[in-house]
């Protein structure tokens, strides 16, 4: 068994990594860090996992530095992960960083969206963007992978076939997001009495995940608008993109294009054209799984396309893609620990 340390194990993505790793045949969790809960049993924070980790307690980050491991997952806040990534790499460990520290390769783009400071360029240059559907070959055997933004993943998977075919002229996207995007610690806007039943638009033009869509889809900023709306969900994202195509298309050709790109993908599925209520993906159909669902409909004019995707933000948008990347980096079957079926209805 390869030994795994999870840094930031009291959080939501840390909890999902633990849930996934409990079903992995080749990876064993040997340490889970927390500053606030060091010394306490893991199940006091993740009670649903008590039978899976009866004997493990959280460890302070200082203690975890001397643990022998082969792989580290960093489920830490932005800005705190990259020094840990550098430390783990120096100790010969492979690293998957779920934070945003290493996602944007271009220094200018990174500073524009996240401000000055942050990870040094040589560390960022070592990282592969951790979305296997777009970077599988580079992830195989890699030492360092970034995580993915959850909204960015909903957008990137939905639009990648069109971007690759040079068909994107203009995109206006809206992500409808659940509260777990905000992590485990409630803030002014995310505390339940204020967040529940909210329909709140967040960051209409400057959501940071937009930067990952610009990078991965190779779009000019003036061609993409993205808004995010808080809706009544705990998990899940539904991304709705109004796309103007660069040239007229026939719907049958677009189906062929999407099937060609995603036909062999283990975790990206196309929604059926009929019946109408299943054509545009609902996050409930992927909840608790590493699946992404993509559907679309073409306007009669052949130019306006509505593309909709759904993912579970904590899985395909975070811990699931992270484990999928780690499997490729470590030489395991890509889907190890990830073949969870969605829970429906939930």
Ligand X SMILES: NC(=O)c1ccc[n+]([C@@H]2O[C@H](COP(=O)([O-])OP(=O)(O)OC[C@H]3O[C@@H](n4cnc5c(N)ncnc54)[C@H](OP(=O)(O)O)[C@@H]3O)[C@@H](O)[C@H]2O)c1
- Determine which residue in the list 13, 215, 290, 336 makes contact with ligand X, applying CB under 6 A: 13
Sign of CA dihedral 99, 104, 107, 108: negative
State which residue, 165 or 268, has the beta carbon closest to ligand X.
Answer: 268
* CB neighbour list of residue 14: distance below 8 Å, 6 or more residues apart: 6, 8, 32, 73, 75
* The dihedral formed by the CA atoms of 333, 335, 338 and 344, expressed in degrees to the nearest 10: -150
* The dihedral formed by the CA atoms of 194, 196, 198 and 203, expressed in degrees to the nearest 10: 70
CA–CA distance from 241 to each of 57, 96, 159, 207, 305 (Å)?
44, 29, 9, 15, 8
User: Contact between 77 and ligand X (CB under 6 A)?
Assistant: yes
State which residue, 88 or 314, has the beta carbon closest to ligand X.
Answer: 314
* CB neighbour list of residue 202: distance below 8 Å, 6 or more residues apart: 177, 227, 228, 229, 230
Structure tokens at 73: 């997952």
- Determine which residue in the list 147, 236, 283, 342 makes contact with ligand X, applying CB under 6 A: 147
Stretch of 72-80, 103-111, 278-286, 330-338 lying at the interface with ligand X (CB under 6 A): 72-80
Q: Which residue is nearest to ligand X (CB)?
A: 11
Stretch of 74-82, 219-227, 258-266, 288-296 lying at the interface with ligand X (CB under 6 A): 74-82
User: Contact between 164 and ligand X (CB under 6 A)?
Assistant: no
- Determine which residue in the list 96, 124, 150, 239 makes contact with ligand X, applying CB under 6 A: 150
Identify the active-site residue in 88, 150, 175, 303.
150
**Phi and psi angles of residue 253, each rounded to the nearest 5 degrees, phi first:** -70, -35
User: Contact between 206 and ligand X (CB under 6 A)?
Assistant: no
Backbone φ/ψ region at 236: left (φ over 0), alpha (ψ -120 to 50), beta? left
Asked if residues 305 and 298 have their Cβ atoms less than 8 Å apart, the reply is yes
Closest approach, Cβ 62 to ligand X, in A, equals 11
User: Contact between 80 and ligand X (CB under 6 A)?
Assistant: yes
Stretch of 18-26, 97-105, 293-301, 335-343 lying at the interface with ligand X (CB under 6 A): 97-105
**In the annotation, is 175 catalytic?**
no
User: Contact between 191 and ligand X (CB under 6 A)?
Assistant: no
User: Contact between 281 and ligand X (CB under 6 A)?
Assistant: no
Backbone φ/ψ region at 186: left (φ over 0), alpha (ψ -120 to 50), beta? beta
Q: How many residues in the shown chain lie near ligand X by CB under 6 A?
A: 30
**Phi and psi angles of residue 79, each rounded to the nearest 5 degrees, phi first:** 95, -20
State which residue, 150 or 167, has the beta carbon closest to ligand X.
Answer: 150
* CB neighbour list of residue 219: distance below 8 Å, 6 or more residues apart: 163, 168, 171, 213
- Determine which residue in the list 20, 30, 42, 99 makes contact with ligand X, applying CB under 6 A: 99
State which residue, 181 or 216, has the beta carbon closest to ligand X.
Answer: 181
Site string for ligand X, 294-313 (x = CB under 6 A): -------------------x
- Determine which residue in the list 23, 25, 35, 346 makes contact with ligand X, applying CB under 6 A: 35
State which residue, 24 or 235, has the beta carbon closest to ligand X.
Answer: 235
State which residue, 12 or 261, has the beta carbon closest to ligand X.
Answer: 12
CA–CA distance from 315 to each of 98, 131, 191, 231, 312 (Å)?
11, 12, 22, 18, 5
- Determine which residue in the list 34, 93, 228, 309 makes contact with ligand X, applying CB under 6 A: 34
HSE-CB at 95 with a 13 A cutoff on CA atoms is 28
State which residue, 243 or 281, has the beta carbon closest to ligand X.
Answer: 281
Sign of CA dihedral 17, 20, 25, 31: positive
Closest approach, Cβ 28 to ligand X, in A, equals 20
Residues lying near ligand X in the complex (CB under 6 A) are found at 8-14, 34-37, 75-78, 80, 98-100, 147, 150, 180-181, 183-185, 313-314, 317-318
| Residues labelled as active-site residues | 150
């Amino acid at each position: 068994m390869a030994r795994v340390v999870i840094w930031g194990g009291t959080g939501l993505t840390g909890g999902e990594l633990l849930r996934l790793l409990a079903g992995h045949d080749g990876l064993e969790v040997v340490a889970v860090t927390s500053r606030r809960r060091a010394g306490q049993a893991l199940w006091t924070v993740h009670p649903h996992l008590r039978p899976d980790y009866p004997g493990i307690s959280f460890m302070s980050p200082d203690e975890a530095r001397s643990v022998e491991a082969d792989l580290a997952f960093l489920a830490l806040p932005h800005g705190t992960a990259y020094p840990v990534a550098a430390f783990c790499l120096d100790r010969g460990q492979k690293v998957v960083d779920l934070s945003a520290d290493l996602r944007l390769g271009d220094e200018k783009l990174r500073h524009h969206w996240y401000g000055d400071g942050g990870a040094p360029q040589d560390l960022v240059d070592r990282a592969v963007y951790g979305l296997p559907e777009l970077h599988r070959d580079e992830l195989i055997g890699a030492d360092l992978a970034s995580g993915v933004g959850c909204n960015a993943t909903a957008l990137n998977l939905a639009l990648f076939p069109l971007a690759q075919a040079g068909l994107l002229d203009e995109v206006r996207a809206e992500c409808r997001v659940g509260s777990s995007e905000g992590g485990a610690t409630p803030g002014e806007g995310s505390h339940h009495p204020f967040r529940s039943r909210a329909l709140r638009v967040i960051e209409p033009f400057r959501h940071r995940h937009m930067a990952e869509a610009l990078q991965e889809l190779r779009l000019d900023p003036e061609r993409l608008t993205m808004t995010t709306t808080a809706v009544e969900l705990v998990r899940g994202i539904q991304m709705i993109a109004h796309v103007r195509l660069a040239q007229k298309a026939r719907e049958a050709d677009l189906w062929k294009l999407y099937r060609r790109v995603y036909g062999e993908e283990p975790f990206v599925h196309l929604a059926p054209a009929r019946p109408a209520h299943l054509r545009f993906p609902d996050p409930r159909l992927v909840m608790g799984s590493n699946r992404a669902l993509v559907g679309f409909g073409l306007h009669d004019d052949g130019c306006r396309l509505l593309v909709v995707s759904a993912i579970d933000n904590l899985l395909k948008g975070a811990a699931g893609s992270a484990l999928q990347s780690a499997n490729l980096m470590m030489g395991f079957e890509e889907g190890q620990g990830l073949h969870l079926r969605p829970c429906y209805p939930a």
